[in-house]
Structure 1
Amino acid sequence: MPDVTVQGVDVPALGLGTWRLTSESCERAVREALELGYRHLDTAQAYGNEREVGDALAASEVDREDVFLTTKLGNGNRDHDAVRRSTEESLAKLGTSYVDLLLIHNPMQRVPVAETLRAMDTLVDDGKVRHIGVSNFDVDRLHAAREAADHELLTNQVQFNPYWDQRELLDYCEIHDLLLTAYSPLGHGGVLDDDVLAEVGDRYGKSAAQVAIRWCLQHPNVSVIPKATSRTHIAANRDVFDFELTDDEMERIRRPSKVRALTGAVRSRLGV
């Protein structure tokens, strides 16, 4: 599977997101993703599934060193001591001595971001974390976080899809050699009924979902982590490297719409 390289670091271009995956369904999805060639896994303390991700990784024949593993600090674990304590707990649940990437999950005001990042820097120095980054930060907050950290931030993980294309943030990441990790590339399922994506997909024998993932991947400095539960969908999300969208198709697919993006998010939370 291809990599995206930023700051000299190779990150698999496609990974498995595990938000809202729990218990046996999470462990099974991770195990099957690894069997199908995925080498990039994303979890978080807030997801409550780090143990399942770790169990699947331990049961796999894939070497730990070959997997790029990300977790994120919960909102209640932002002061210096909580960062270190909770990361140790995450490592124990994941069954590993290090994670490849540790993120601040969301911006918040209660604890200064500089304090959180200082603790994350010490974890890098101790070898428990290889890279650090943030999630759901806008450009101004991302810039401030970069200024506050001793170690360079590797990524900002944000929602990124044809309806929410993060153009300003993407430009910033490209200029500063940062990775944009794209979650919800399917617009919380909104792309599945998209006529434009379906029409483009027909030309390549691909689904609307595959076209949306390919659209994300063709942007510079972007790695994509779609969530999937079934083996069929996990495999389909992987099969996006055998075609390439034209410049015209890339522009046609891009249709920023807060209404579509927010509607998809609401539908996802309601489970409809």
Structure 2
Amino acid sequence: MRKRERENPCVVCGHYHKYEEGEVCGVCGHRMPASSEKLVQQSSAFPSEILKDFLYLGSYDNASRGELLKTQGISRILNTVPACQNLYKNSFTYYCLEDEKILQFDNATQFLEQCERDKARVLVHCMSGRSRSPAVVIAYLMKCKGWRFAQSHQWVKDRRPQVELSPAVHQQLLEYEQKIFGSNEPMPTQVSAMPDSSSGFVFGFPKVSDSNTLPIFNQLANTSIFEQTGPNIAPTSFVFGAGRPVDQPFPDNNAFGFIHPNTNEAPMDSS
């Protein structure tokens, strides 16, 4: 078998394979796109902007157009395909995922968070920009923006219509959503009810259930101790802090927590 000449590598992926003849690259899997894919690639020389002036999503073809990336202000590249060659190491800061099958979402989002803090524009790419790299962008939106999977996926799909997640990648994203939010179901919105002013003084204690209701100061249904002195005793016979009539019993339901006089118990500390 004649040895292949190595003077002319593929202009797209940089590896040596017969790109023009449709041969699949043995290193990164790059191949000549079908006619329908050619139309998409011709209309998308620039990567898709996902978050304005920050996050861009594209293919390896986009990542190989260094001059176009510079015109967009992109200075960092997240490569989600370990076998893909980083073509411009002197011009861009690269970060590469190391696993071919399992996407390392946490590592990728940490890199993207650092780019955001540095106000650097970053391109996330895979081979075609349809599955692996969109999955990383979706994971970033879930982790750092607090969006659920469905919302994040729709956001990316609207800005890059050719996105088509593989079943394996889709499942990884569902598992990552469960890891972040604890469930794949949207959390119901909890509205904190304001305390009811008609329930009396609460002082931060939990509301007592209706089955064991204690006296409350301003409820008309409860009888005040000022009204428990007896029907035949004039109001002037009660002097706050003074002695009580001899034959007047103490109310059984002591609303204020007073201690009966002539006992050895000390008053309760309100603290």
TM range (shorter): under 0.3
The TM-score, its normalising length taken from structure 2, stands at: 0.23
More helix by share: 1
Higher relative contact order (CA 8 A, sep 6+): 1
